Amino acid sequence: MTTPATLDQWLHEFSERAVVPPMSDEFVRRVDARIASQVPEVGADHMLMDELHDSTRAQWRSFATSLVGDHTFTLPPAASALARSLARRGMDLSLLLKVYRSAQQSVFQFFTEVTDAFDESAPPRDEVLKFMWSRAEQWLNDSVEALIETFYAERHQLIEGALLRRTQLVDDLLRGSTANLDAASAELSHALTHWQTGLVVWAAGTDLADGADSAERLLDFANLAARALRAPRPLTLMTGSRELWFWVASPSQPELQSLAELVDALGEARLRLAHGVPARGLAGFRSSHVEARAAQRVSIEAVRPPAILDYRDVELVCLAAGSADLVNRMVVRELGALCAADKNLVQVRETLLAHYRGGFNVERTAEQLFVHKNTVRYRLARAEDLLGHPIEVQAAKVELALRHVELFGPPPMH
């Protein structure tokens, strides 16, 4: 007969398993899925969801390790970062509380299912549940209490400073306010009558420092982008702990190709940049920002996102991205065997897409890919075999499908 483990023995073993996959991944997935479904304001925002994942994972690790030793729970910086981001976006405290109410439901259900799987070697189920529920309730209550203070401290800073007025003014402009451009330009120190380029820079990983350090890094890259475009300091708006919106005003149409000089630095800093199409005046201020945000969403979801994404390169993808099922169906229909998940087809797809982008010019395609012209011709012939028709037929749809696969990878083949 197996002797049941004591509660302390079980807690040590559970604590070790809880902080590593698969349990840690499963906990984050389940908790965040419930929060996303019950708090749509968070679930629909990619950057807030990224911060939520970081917060949940960090808090779970802190809680699991607190189950042994002195039982001291320490609120991790990632949790504070999420609370500050909600405050910066002008969201109400009730939203933060709703996040934690949703989390509490999922946490208690998780522990119930863990103990449901107990066998005779485990300690008494009721004893474990009573302890875990008590500890979890204390964890969540302490977290909420601390984060309410963090939320209001951030909100107070916004209200007390000029940042709130600037945030409100930018929000009004984006919502379609017909403000006096001269007055708004003076208040924002930004020439709204010039060419406007909307950009977004954000952390691609989860290791961006918290607080002032992270904001400084993002602001540094916004200034670098403005200098690359030979423009004055940009108008910036910190919308989260890992995301910055900004606009560059130029007296003449900017040469966006110069942003390419930032690629290496962005990669080293684990940051990404997306931008819209430059346009004049207040209408351009709005449209270029909307385009930059659309390009950002594509980049976040992409399998192989570039360091810098130009909206013009993904415009068709953005327009067609309303339904993932419909898009995948179109990609499979247009590309056929060419979109199979075969590594040998990657070069064929890349060559055909470069050929479309180069205006069906074999020499230009070869120069862009650094290959011989005969190699290009061979790959194009291979593409035609797989497509089942000449590459000039349905070129627009085929190019759209290729762009989608380039960003998101081959869709499921049914």
Q: What is the pLDDT of residues 131-178, one digit of tens each?
A: 999 999 999 999 999 999 999 998 888 777 667 788 889 999 998 876
Which pLDDT band, with edges at 50, 70 and 90, does 1 fall under?
A: very low
- CATH match for 7-160 among 2.40.50, 1.10.10, 1.10.490, 1.10.760: 1.10.490
The answer on pLDDT for 383 being more than 60 is yes
Tell me which CATH code domain 320-408 carries.
1.10.10.2840
Q: What is the pLDDT of residues 312-328, one digit of tens each?
A: 888 877 776 666 776 78
What is the fold of 193-317?
A: Alpha-Beta Plaits (3.30.70)
Could you check whether 193-317 and 320-408 share the same CATH topology?
no
pTM value?
Answer: 0.66
Query: What is the average per-residue pLDDT within 372-395?
Result: 93
- Where in the chain are the domains? 7-160, 193-317, 320-408
**What pLDDT does residue 210 have?**
53
Query: What is the average per-residue pLDDT within 46-74?
Result: 90
Distance CA 59, CA 46 (A): 20
